[in-house]
Structure 1
Amino acid sequence: MNDIKKTAPPRSFVSKINITDKGGFVTNPHTFEEYYVSHVFLKGALDKDTVKVRISETKQFQSTAKIERVLSRYTQTFTAKLFAKKNQLAASIYPYQSKPITIKENLVNASIGDLVKIKIIDWRENHKTAYAKTLSIISSDSDVGSDFLFISGRYGLDDLPIIKIKKKEQVKYESMLTNQSTNRVDLTEIPTITIDPDTARDFDDALSIEKKKYGYDLYIHIADVSYYVKEGDLVDKNAKIRANSYYFPEKVFHMLPEILSTDICSLIPGKNRLAFTLKVEMDTSYSIIKHSFFESTINSNERLTYTEVSKVLQGSSSSHHSESLNMLNELTISLKKKRLNTGLSFTHHETVFIGDQISNINSNLTKEEDSHRIVEECMLIANKIAAREIIGFSKKNNLIGVFRNHDIPNQKNEIYIKNIIAKFSKKRSDSKRLTAKLINEFIDKYEGTDLQNIISIILIRRMNKAFYSTKNIGHYGLGFDEYTHFTSPIRRYADLVVHRILKQQLNNLNTLPESVIICNHGERKAKLASRDYIKLKSLKWLDRQGDKTFQGIIINIKPSFVTICETVTEIIGFIDVKTLPRDSYAVSSNRLALVGKFSKNRYEIGSKVDIKIDKIDILNQNVSFRIQ
């Protein structure tokens, strides 16, 4: 008898495609399963096009998604960067677009490098290239704002629907604020503060803490957006489409109308504001005794920045809220210590551009670690408790919820991480299960060194991505058995949905699977837009440095190239093996080094090397280096 397993029959469905990096995601509308389509199988599809998808399963039961054909184009007009291709003018709407576009009619005399608005005049669906005409010049390549305009155009942020709140509607919201429900708990007399970055434009959360005989009462106040934005109303529909707020130095694209985001919903100081409060009673060892969610009215006494809070905690500044801040500091030190028994602790790293000037703020984040910890740990415990509450509702009523999941690393990545730890620790790879404690102890050895951020980057690249789901599987990175997003309803639609679930005000539970897909797409889009903005700025900054020598740290090894992180911008680039000193190179058995057969030259993960720029590709947002 032939026992060879046959492949499962192919399946097909119609979906919109959401382009990310070189490929894109499609969703089966019947099962809500999401599939990734590799760049080689896009068949000319562009972002948000409607496509017919074919799913095939291999003998190993792995699914492969391919685009059979494009059914309809999402739009005819695009924001594009012009470049020269074979003596013709071509248009780049984003890196590695699967349908090349040639400019056939340059009606506005645009030049190479200009950012322009174009319109497709012939899709030529049976050909490789589409034809377009230029409509207007948005900016020249040398304009400081060009990168922002390109990214906002690439992700369609300017095309998102906008709801302008008329005076009559503004009065309605203001009256809702004034005529508070009698069931709302008045907390306006409790000392309350917000802690945010210097540049914060909206305030989702505020904190209060009181000393009690049994320990402490911790209040985590979250903007009560669901009180103003009702399920299915016009503002809600618009927020669902946006799914996230998008933050850039030049502009913020708010998820909600600005009057709600920055004023009526925002927990600004000195004004009564409506909140959805979580009260957590803790004993003197900071263990939770009990908790409760309720609608409240608060009045934030002061808006503090991370810098100001850190100065108070370090004793270099004073504040009317010093007592509260010191209690919050001690409480969150304990919460974090407990959490890190099962959760991971990666370092913060962030590069900021003001105009075209770089500001690497890693050192500031280290100095402000205590103030960041206060906010982070309070928000984490709130999100964890909210998830538990939803699970309680779900079990009682046989319902689904919205959860923020993070799966464990697969076996291949677990082995790789163990090998990384063994290499840096100069020990043999441990056969024991990979635990958060093992990873944290390893990272802690490099605290305060140049390698701390790089090791975090290496390990994060081997972790699964967190995602929203209607089913809870826990959050591996945080070490929580259950987790959701509850604390940012002004800027994340998922949090707004969670508020409605907690208040038992979600009328149509059947919309949750669709909402989860939209939230995943929105979050992915917001992260990619921010990442691409920083990448463009970084590439242009590097380009201006000329023949300067930089320091790079090797973060991955492949037979044909070495992946490297440049330490100023933290941009990821590549070194072609062909540019290394002449030799025959092979990857080591643990895949952590590239070794020359004759010279015995070794290029190891974590090694620092002096590098120079080989080539910068602005269109595809790539940089290649060569070792100096």
Structure 2
Amino acid sequence: MGRKRKGASRRPTRSRHTGRLTGTVRITDAGAYVETAEGMFRLTQRGVREAMNGDTVTVSLHRGPGGQMRAVVESTEVRVTDVLVGTYDIAGPLGVIRPLDTRIRQDFFVLPRDRSAADHGVEPGDVVSARIVSYPTRYESGVVTIERRIGGADAPDLGIQCVMARYDLADGYPQAAVDEARARTLDVDAALADPLRRDIRDRFLLTIDPIDARDFDDAISVERTAQGGWKLGVHIADVSAYVPWESHVDLEARRRATSVYLADRVLPMLPEELSCDLCSLVPGEERLAFTVDIELDRRGRVRGFTPYPSVIRSRVRMDYEAADALLDGADGTTDVLSPDRAAALERARGMCADAARCGVDLAAFLRDADELAGRRREIRHARGAIDFETVEIHALLDEDGMPCRIVKRERTRATSLVEEAMLLANECVAGWLSDRGLEAAYRVHEAPSADELSDAAKTLAGIGAIDRETAAGIRAGDPAAIERAVASSRETGFAPLVNAVLLRAMQRAVYRPHNLGHYALGAPAYCHFTSPIRRYPDLLVHRVLKWQLARDRLGAAASRDRASELVGNGDQALVRVLPQLCRQSSAAERTADAAAHASQKVKVAQYYASRIGERLSGSVSWIDAMGAFVRLDDTGAEGLIRLSALGGDEWWDLDEERFQLTGTSSGRALTLGTRVIVEVVGANPIRGHVDFELIHVRRALH
């Protein structure tokens, strides 16, 4: 059995206000909260009332046990959910939709006169997408009408279809845009007639991407200079050459704003004729690109850079694993290596042979790029950049779309050298635009508020994750202190909490028409330039950059001739719509990230659904009112030990401030980093949940 101590929220507000406030409802498995200008308040158990996650509400505040303020929803002002996904059932004359999203805590009904279930061939137990007709109130239940049958409970991709419906994502592409994309062709001679475009097909360029990548936005070139520095070339697909302003493709790309990478499919921003073919920097093929050549000294400091449209030919396509095999000096016979490492080394040897035919030592090329990346990291950290630790869990699928393996994608030398090159190119382009006072889609990350940082420092110091000096630095907003907290926790059980709490204290990076700098990167100017195949803001930046280059080098008259394809009827056409395009892109990015994460959870749950009864080792990564979350050693996947599955018949007390569960009879304690053995006891692929039972407590890892 289990219970939790009634206590404060992890982030108690300092406000003594007891009147009414307006805020946004946030519902999690651990409880419900309202975010207001006065702070975040926990909603009482019955205080959510008819509100749903994301709604704007008016709340009243009341003093609860221990003197902590609790909120109660008094009225709902703005609704944000209009479509939901759920299972269909029948209750007398009514149809019932039970939402699969656990944040929606009300059932909805289909009225007897509504024929949508019959029209769509829906049977009890089917999963459907339904549009809300009327919202629940304190006196009436909510009403919906069915828009689409997603599938029966046994459909193999049902979980992904549910994710797509939940986030209102559509597969496929409008035919008018597809036809337009198919009509585009590559004409190198015509492209080189442009006096701005340079022919650099003789340079050695390569792409480095995940092994399952389908589109290639970027290629790099690296040369050592006579002074001991580097000439770094970052070459990006020139999407703007194929997507004119307000064309069918452009308008659809604006609406999507980003590609969405789900576990079993990609929902591309651009039609595949462009994203996977004509724009993609396919090795061995001539392609139009936008190049930034950057001169750096031996310490990695920028001494100058030049942006220009180009024609390129990438020579080698590497994957990260193969690049790491070369960088790490893997050698010897493949039979003494792990199967994955052996396969990566075999691929790397083939790539080395391709590079050698171009007169290039590929291993030396990568070492030069790796050394430059190290210099750039040192420079970024010296100026206050913060590198949060992220581990991406990725499900590998078989031909039937079923998960056959779970892998952790972490930062490596290969991913880092590409990342540093892209960060630098983005900074150079943003600085170039900002110095000229140009409006574009800048990537803006504002400094966190003092209250958020103070709450984060208090939480982390309270459990011993950081020392007093680091806590003081975090409260003062010192990026070096935040980076120190992240770095010092890296090999401890506190790492997930430190990253989560500090990330929560940060503002979210967004797109804005004007440059306001990037706090986490410590960059005075930043934009996204390097992924125009999958992000609309990058395409906007390309257009503004290309148009300004034309004005600078060809004169006003020549630039006017290009304006209609690049930025509409002059720069004012772009300026008028930029604020909305930036807002749309920021919102679409949040949706895409959430959907991608949810889709991976679906496949992880599918993977463990066939492993019920297996016992696995892991570490406690989070503790809240639901129980203890455990991250498994072998895959990095997370599951939940619910309070009722902690073992024995004793009660467990939750200390929310110290993130600790304590058995009241045995005195056993679970804290962050505690090493445990768990058994897989359940998995719900539709919801993306994996449930564990505690078998054995080994030790704490701090």
TM-score normalised by length of structure 2: 0.71
Separation in 2, partners of 1:587, 1:74: 37
Q: In structure 2, what is the equivalent of residue 382 of structure 1?
A: 425
Q: 2:142 aligned to 125, 129, 146, which one?
A: 129
Q: In structure 1, what is the equivalent of residue 527 of structure 2?
A: 484
Q: Helix, strand or coil: the match of 1:292?
A: strand
Q: In structure 2, what is the equivalent of residue 335 of structure 1?
A: 376
* Alignment check: 8 A CA contact 2:234 2:421 kept: yes
Q: In structure 2, what is the equivalent of residue 201 of structure 1?
A: 214
Any residues of structure 2 matched to 1:218-257 within 5 Å, and which?
218-257=232-271
**More relative contact order, 1 or 2 (CA 8 Å, 6+ apart):** 2
Q: In structure 2, what is the equivalent of residue 371 of structure 1?
A: 414
Structure 1 position 295 matched with structure 2 position 328: no
Structure 1 position 211 matched with structure 2 position 224: yes
**How has the CA–CA distance of structure 1 residues 511 and 536 changed in structure 2, closer, same or farther, with 3 Å as cutoff?**
same
Structure 1 position 188 matched with structure 2 position 201: yes
Q: 1:608 aligned to 672, 675, 678, which one?
A: 675
Q: Helix, strand or coil: the match of 2:207?
A: strand
Any residues of structure 2 matched to 1:277-356 within 5 Å, and which?
277-315=291-329, 316=331, 317-318=348-349, 319=352, 320=355, 321=360, 322=362, 323-341=364-382, 342-353=384-395, 354=397, 355-356=401-402
Superimposed CA distance per residue, residues 319-370 of structure 1 (whole angstroms, 9 cap, x where no aligned partner): 12413222112111221233234333344423222133353323x747xx12
Separation in 2, partners of 1:56, 1:510: 37
Separation in 1, partners of 2:365, 2:430: 27
Separation in 2, partners of 1:379, 1:112: 51
Shift of 1:518: 0.7
Superimposed CA distance per residue, residues 394-442 of structure 1 (whole angstroms, 9 cap, x where no aligned partner): 3xx6x5752231544521113333455x44x7x6675540355556566
Q: Output the amino acid matched with 1:513.
A: P
**How has the CA–CA distance of structure 1 residues 594 and 149 changed in structure 2, closer, same or farther, with 3 Å as cutoff?**
closer
**How has the CA–CA distance of structure 1 residues 43 and 371 changed in structure 2, closer, same or farther, with 3 Å as cutoff?**
same
**How has the CA–CA distance of structure 1 residues 627 and 378 changed in structure 2, closer, same or farther, with 3 Å as cutoff?**
same
**How has the CA–CA distance of structure 1 residues 245 and 176 changed in structure 2, closer, same or farther, with 3 Å as cutoff?**
farther
**How has the CA–CA distance of structure 1 residues 594 and 70 changed in structure 2, closer, same or farther, with 3 Å as cutoff?**
closer
Q: 2:457 aligned to 409, 414, 434, which one?
A: 414
Q: Helix, strand or coil: the match of 1:210?
A: strand
Please, which moves more after superposition, 545-554 or 79-88? 79-88
* Alignment check: 8 A CA contact 2:125 2:153 kept: yes
Give the number of equivalent residue pairs: 592
The CA RMSD over aligned residues, in Å, is 4.6
Shift of 1:564: 1.2
Q: In structure 2, what is the equivalent of residue 28 of structure 1?
A: none
Any residues of structure 2 matched to 1:387-402 within 5 Å, and which?
387-394=430-437, 401-402=441-442
* Alignment check: 8 A CA contact 2:259 2:267 kept: yes
Q: Output the amino acid matched with 2:288.
A: L
Shift of 1:128: 1.4
Any residues of structure 2 matched to 1:442-591 within 5 Å, and which?
451=493, 454=496, 458=500, 462-464=504-506, 466-470=508-512, 471-503=514-546, 504=548, 506=567, 507=571, 508-558=574-624, 560-567=625-632, 568=635, 570-571=637-638, 573=640, 575-576=642-643, 582-583=650-651, 585=653, 587=655, 591=658
**How has the CA–CA distance of structure 1 residues 375 and 460 changed in structure 2, closer, same or farther, with 3 Å as cutoff?**
farther
Q: Output the amino acid matched with 1:548.
A: E
* Alignment check: 8 A CA contact 1:43 1:68 kept: no
* Alignment check: 8 A CA contact 1:553 1:606 kept: yes
Shift of 1:155: 2.3
**How has the CA–CA distance of structure 1 residues 170 and 439 changed in structure 2, closer, same or farther, with 3 Å as cutoff?**
same
**How has the CA–CA distance of structure 1 residues 165 and 593 changed in structure 2, closer, same or farther, with 3 Å as cutoff?**
closer
Separation in 1, partners of 2:676, 2:125: 33
Superimposed CA distance per residue, residues 443-491 of structure 1 (whole angstroms, 9 cap, x where no aligned partner): 65676x6859746754565453532142545434333343221111110
Structure 1 position 146 matched with structure 2 position 158: yes
Shift of 1:279: 1.2
**How has the CA–CA distance of structure 1 residues 121 and 400 changed in structure 2, closer, same or farther, with 3 Å as cutoff?**
closer
Structure 1 position 404 matched with structure 2 position 444: yes
* Alignment check: 8 A CA contact 1:216 1:281 kept: yes
**How has the CA–CA distance of structure 1 residues 511 and 56 changed in structure 2, closer, same or farther, with 3 Å as cutoff?**
farther
Q: Helix, strand or coil: the match of 1:410?
A: helix
Q: Helix, strand or coil: the match of 1:174?
A: coil
Separation in 2, partners of 1:300, 1:436: 38
Separation in 1, partners of 2:27, 2:279: 32
Separation in 2, partners of 1:10, 1:454: 32
**How has the CA–CA distance of structure 1 residues 407 and 273 changed in structure 2, closer, same or farther, with 3 Å as cutoff?**
same
Q: In structure 1, what is the equivalent of residue 552 of structure 2?
A: none
Shift of 1:371: 1.1
**How has the CA–CA distance of structure 1 residues 196 and 614 changed in structure 2, closer, same or farther, with 3 Å as cutoff?**
closer
Q: Output the amino acid matched with 2:157.
A: G
Q: Helix, strand or coil: the match of 1:361?
A: strand
* Alignment check: 8 A CA contact 1:121 1:133 kept: no
Q: In structure 2, what is the equivalent of residue 627 of structure 1?
A: 694
Shift of 1:218: 0.8
Please, which moves more after superposition, 453-462 or 383-392? 453-462
Shift of 1:298: 1.3
Shift of 1:613: 5.3
* Alignment check: 8 A CA contact 2:441 2:582 kept: no
Q: In structure 2, what is the equivalent of residue 96 of structure 1?
A: 103
TM-score normalised by length of structure 1: 0.79
Please, which moves more after superposition, 267-276 or 117-126? 117-126
Superimposed CA distance per residue, residues 136-177 of structure 1 (whole angstroms, 9 cap, x where no aligned partner): 5x4333332222222223323226762445667644443488
Shift of 1:378: 0.5
Separation in 1, partners of 2:610, 2:162: 20
* Alignment check: 8 A CA contact 2:197 2:308 kept: yes
Q: Output the amino acid matched with 1:593.
A: Q
Separation in 2, partners of 1:592, 1:56: 28
Please, which moves more after superposition, 372-381 or 500-509? 500-509
Show structure 2 runs of 5+ residues with no match: 1-14, 63-68, 332-347, 549-565, 696-702
Shift of 1:227: 2.7
* Alignment check: 8 A CA contact 1:202 1:266 kept: yes
Shift of 1:575: 3.1
Shift of 1:384: 2.0
**How has the CA–CA distance of structure 1 residues 484 and 177 changed in structure 2, closer, same or farther, with 3 Å as cutoff?**
farther
Separation in 2, partners of 1:223, 1:21: 40
Separation in 1, partners of 2:141, 2:681: 30
* Alignment check: 8 A CA contact 1:177 1:273 kept: no
Q: Output the amino acid matched with 1:349.
A: V
Q: In structure 2, what is the equivalent of residue 27 of structure 1?
A: none
Superimposed CA distance per residue, residues 75-120 of structure 1 (whole angstroms, 9 cap, x where no aligned partner): 7xx7644468899753436443366333566537755553346677
Shift of 1:528: 1.0
Separation in 2, partners of 1:228, 1:407: 37
**How has the CA–CA distance of structure 1 residues 204 and 177 changed in structure 2, closer, same or farther, with 3 Å as cutoff?**
farther
Separation in 2, partners of 1:294, 1:243: 25
Q: Helix, strand or coil: the match of 1:199?
A: coil
**How has the CA–CA distance of structure 1 residues 549 and 461 changed in structure 2, closer, same or farther, with 3 Å as cutoff?**
farther
Q: Percent identity?
A: 22
* Alignment check: 8 A CA contact 1:37 1:67 kept: no
Q: Output the amino acid matched with 1:143.
A: A
Please, which moves more after superposition, 229-238 or 203-212? 229-238
* Alignment check: 8 A CA contact 1:54 1:65 kept: yes
Q: In structure 1, what is the equivalent of residue 126 of structure 2?
A: 114
Q: Helix, strand or coil: the match of 1:340?
A: helix
**How has the CA–CA distance of structure 1 residues 210 and 148 changed in structure 2, closer, same or farther, with 3 Å as cutoff?**
same
Separation in 1, partners of 2:91, 2:470: 52
**How has the CA–CA distance of structure 1 residues 94 and 36 changed in structure 2, closer, same or farther, with 3 Å as cutoff?**
farther
* Alignment check: 8 A CA contact 1:187 1:297 kept: yes
Superimposed CA distance per residue, residues 50-84 of structure 1 (whole angstroms, 9 cap, x where no aligned partner): x9x67789999x9x99643669x967xx7644468
